[in-house]
Amino acid sequence: MSTEVAVVGFAQAPHVRATEGTTNGVEMLVPVFAELFAETGMTKEDIGFWCSGSSDYLAARAFSFIAAVDAIGAIPPINESHVEMDGAWALYEAWLKIRTGEVDTALVYGFGKSSAGDLRRTLALQLDPYTVAPLWPDSVSVAALQARLGIDAGLWSELAMAEVAARAGGGDAVDLLGQPYIADPLRRHDCAPITDGASAVILASGDRARELRERPAWITGIEHRIDSGSLGARDLTTSPSTVASARAAGVDGVEAAELHAPFTHQEILLRQAIGLDDTVSVNPSGGPLAGNPMFAAGLSRIGEAARLVFDGLYGRVLAHATSGPALQQNLVCVMEAR
C-alpha cells in the first residue's frame, strides 16, 4: 500500500508588479511561512523536509536560493533540497520524500522577483545557447509563434483567445480585439502580467494530514513530463508532455482545474490536451492571467486547487504547472476530498 499524501496548507504573497524586497525572496517568504504556521497550528520544528523552487537567473546571481533559507531560521539545521524549477516540481520532490516513509510532513515554497530584470529577455536565455539564444527570441514572441500556429491549424481563434481574457479579467471579448498587437497575434490581454511573488504549501501523510486539516486535499495522481527543447522539433499546437502527464495522473471526474497558462491560447491548448470538458470550472482563482509570479505560479496552482477542496467547494480538482518556452515541461496533480 502506497503512502497517502495530502496538501494541508497553502499561503502566498500578494501578487505585485514590483516588490521592494530583495531577490532572495526573504521579505516575501517570512509572512507566507507565518501565515501557513498560523493556519495549520504547526511550527518549523514540525516540518520533516523542506524543498524550494527558484531561479538564479531571475535573481541575477549565483546561489540565490541559499539566502532564502534565512526566511526559515534554519537552526537547528534542516533536512532540505532545492530545484531550479517552479515550486510545483519542489512539491513533487517532497511528495516522493514522504512516500519513502522517511518523513511525514514537508513544506514546499517557490519564489521569484521578475521585476529585478527584463523578464522577456531573461527567459530567452532558456533557449539553445549555441544556435537560438544568440538571436534573442524573447518569451512573448516564442508564445506568439505558438498562438499563430494554432490559429492557422483552426484550433483556436483570436476571438476565442479574447474570450479567455474576458473571463479572467472582465471586459468584452469583441472590444478586446480592438486593442493593438504586442507580438502578433498576441495582445496585451493575451499575456500574463509580470509579477513578483512567493507561495508555500504544506504536505502531510495519512493520519498526520487528518490531524492538521478537516478536509485535506489528497493527492491521487501527480506526474510530469518534458518535451524537446528544440522548438522546430515539436508540434507547438499541442503538448505531448501534458497529454501524457494527465493520462498518468488520472483526470476522470475532475470538477475544477487550475491551469498554469501564461497566455490565453495556452489555456485553450491545455484544456484540449488534458481533456477537460465545458463542465469543468477553469481557473476560479483568476489564474496566471491575474498574476504570474515566476517559479511560484505553478505551485500556487496546486495550492489554489487544494483550497477549493479545503473549503468544500469541490470534491475532485486538478492543478497544472508549466516550465520552459511554449509549454515545454508540464506537471499535472489531481487531488480529492475523502
Partner 1 sequence: MKQPAAVLGVGQTHHRAKRLDVSMAGLCREAIDRAMADAGVDWDGIDAVVVGKAPDLFEGVMMPELFLADALGAVGKPLLRVHTAGSVGGSTANVAASLIHSGVHRRVLAVAFEKQSESNAMWALSIAPPFSMPVGAGAGGYFAPHVRSYIRRSGAPEHIGSLVAVKDRHNGARNPYAHLRQPDITLESVRASTMLWDPIRYDETCPSSDGACAIVLGDSSAAHKDSAWIQATAMRTEPTTFAGRDQVNPRAGRDAAHALWREAGISDPLQEIDAAEIYVPFSWFEPMWLENLGFAAEGQGWKLTESGATAMDGQLPVNASGGVLSSNPIGASGMLRFAEAALQVMGRAGDHQVDGVRRALGHAYGGGSQYFSMWVVGNEKP
What residue ranges bind partner 1 (CB under 8 A)?
Answer: 2-3, 22-24, 50, 55-57, 59-67, 69-70, 73-85, 89, 92-93, 96-97, 99-102, 122-123, 125-130, 132-133, 223-230, 233, 240-241, 244, 323-325, 328-329
CB nearer to partner 1: pick between 79 and 312: 79
C-alpha cell at 202: 504544506
Tell me if residue 169 falls in helix, strand or coil: helix
User: What backbone phi and psi angles, to 5 degrees, belong to 312?
Assistant: 75, 15
CB nearer to partner 1: pick between 89 and 218: 89
CB nearer to partner 1: pick between 158 and 223: 223
Using DSSP bridges, classify how beta strands 105-113 and 181-183 pair: parallel, antiparallel or unpaired.
unpaired
CB nearer to partner 1: pick between 127 and 161: 127
Nearest Cα to Cα of residue 157 among 173, 175, 139: 173
Would you give the DSSP letter of residue 191?
B
**CA-to-CA distance for 28 and 127, rounded, in angstroms?**
29
Min dist. Cβ of residue 208 to partner 1 (A)? 14
Contact between residue 216 and residue 33 where contact means Cβ atoms under 8 Å apart: no
Largest Cα separation within the chain, whole Å, is: 58
Min dist. Cβ of residue 13 to partner 1 (A)? 18
Min dist. Cβ of residue 133 to partner 1 (A)? 7
CB nearer to partner 1: pick between 139 and 264: 139
Min dist. Cβ of residue 181 to partner 1 (A)? 27
Contact between residue 313 and residue 232 where contact means Cβ atoms under 8 Å apart: no
CB nearer to partner 1: pick between 31 and 229: 229
Contact between residue 92 and residue 110 where contact means Cβ atoms under 8 Å apart: no
CB nearer to partner 1: pick between 41 and 73: 73
**Residues, the chain:** 338
CB proximity list for 169: less than 8 A, separation 6 or greater: 189, 286, 289, 290
Min dist. Cβ of residue 302 to partner 1 (A)? 16
Min dist. Cβ of residue 319 to partner 1 (A)? 16
Strand partners, 285: none
Min dist. Cβ of residue 6 to partner 1 (A)? 16
**CA-to-CA distance for 173 and 160, rounded, in angstroms?**
8
